A and B are shown apart, each in its own frame.
Chain A
Amino acid sequence: MSATLARAAGAPTHTTPRTWLALGIGWALLIAVPFWIPFVGGYTDLASRVLIYALAAMGLNLLLGFTGGLSFGHAAYFGLGCYGVGLMLKYETHSTLLALLAGTLLGGAAALLLGPVAVRRRGIYFSMITIAIGQMFYFIAVRWNNLTGGEDGLTGFRRHPLHFPGLTVPLGTTNFYYFVLVFFTLGCALLWGVLQSPLGHAFVAIRENHKRMRFLGIPVARYIALSFAISGLVVALAGSLNALLDNFTSPNDLDYTLSGNLLIIAVLGGMRSFWGPFVGAIIFVLVRDYVSSLITNWMTVIGLIFVLSVLFFPLGVLGFLRRRSAQ
Chain B
Amino acid sequence: MSLLSLRHVSRRFGALVALNDISLDIEAGELRALIGPNGAGKTTLFNLISGFFPPSDGEILFGGERIAATDPVTLVRKGIIRTFQITEIFLDLTVYENLRVAVETAMGISLRPWVSRAVRSAVDLRVQELLELVRIGGRAGRVAGELSHGDQRVVEVGMALAHAPRLLLLDEPTAGMGDEETHHMTNLIRQLNRERGITILFVEHDMNIVFGVAERITVLDNGALLAEGTAAEIAANPRVQAAYLGQGGAQARVTGSHADAAS
Contact = CB atoms under 8 A, between A and B. Distances in A.
Q: Do A and B come from one complex?
A: yes
Interface of A: 2-3, 5-13, 193-194, 197-202, 204-205, 208-209, 211-219, 223, 226
B243 interface: no
Interface in B66-101: 72-73, 76-77, 81-82, 84, 88-94, 96-97, 100-101
Contacts of A211: 84, 88
Contacts of B76: 215-217
Interface stretch (B6-14, B102-110, B228-236): B102-110
5 contacts: A11-B141, A202-B101, A212-B90, A213-B101, A218-B105
Contacts of A193: 113-114
B97 A215 contact: no
Contacts of A194: 113
A13 B105 CA distance: 19
B88 A198 contact: no
Contacts of A226: 111
B65 interface: no
A5 B124 contact: no
Contacts of A219: 73
Interface size class of B (residues with CB under 8 A): 35 or more
Given A201-B101, A214-B73, A215-B88, A7 B94 contact: yes
Contacts of B140: 9-11
Interface in B112-136: 112-115, 123-124, 127-128
Contact of B110 (A11, A13, A218): A218
A9 B73 CA distance: 33
Nearest to B89: A212
B119 to A, nearest CB: 8
Nearest to B108: A217
Given A2-B143, A197-B112, A209-B89, A217 B97 contact: no
Contacts of B143: 2-3, 5-7
Contacts of B89: 209, 212
A171 B150 CA distance: 61
Contacts of B5: none
Contact of B111 (A199, A205, A214): A199
Nearest to A194: B113
B32 interface: no
Most buried by B among A5, A9, A202, A212: A212
Interface string B160-181: 0011000000000000000000
Given A12-B96, A199-B112, A216 B101 contact: yes
A12 B97 CA distance: 8
A317 B71 CA distance: 42
A76 to B, nearest CB: 23
Given A5-B92, A202-B101, A214 B113 contact: no
B100 A201 contact: yes
Given A199-B113, A219-B73, A10 B141 contact: yes
A11 B124 contact: yes
Contact of B163 (A5, A198, A216): A216
B154 interface: no
Nearest to A201: B101
A7 to B, nearest CB: 6
A108 to B, nearest CB: 14
B96 A215 contact: no
Given A197-B115, A216-B105, A2 B90 contact: no
B81 A198 contact: no
B145 interface: yes
Nearest to A9: B141
Contacts of B123: 198
B146 A199 contact: no
Contact of B72 (A12, A201, A208, A215): A215
Nearest to A10: B141
B163 A8 contact: no
B102 A216 contact: yes
Nearest to A195: B113
Contacts of B81: 215
A76 B166 CA distance: 46
Contact of B115 (A198, A204, A218): A198
A212 B88 contact: yes
Contacts of A216: 76, 101-102, 105-106, 159, 162-163
Contacts of B94: 6-7
A208 B163 contact: no
B69 to A, nearest CB: 15
Interface in B37-88: 50, 72-73, 76-77, 81-82, 84, 88
Contacts of A213: 101, 105
A242 B105 CA distance: 38
Interface string B186-217: 00000000000000000000000000000000
B83 to A, nearest CB: 9
Contacts of B112: 197-199
A201 B104 contact: yes
Given A201-B101, A217-B77, A2 B92 contact: yes
A205 B124 contact: no
Given A2-B146, A201-B101, A208-B91, A215 B50 contact: yes
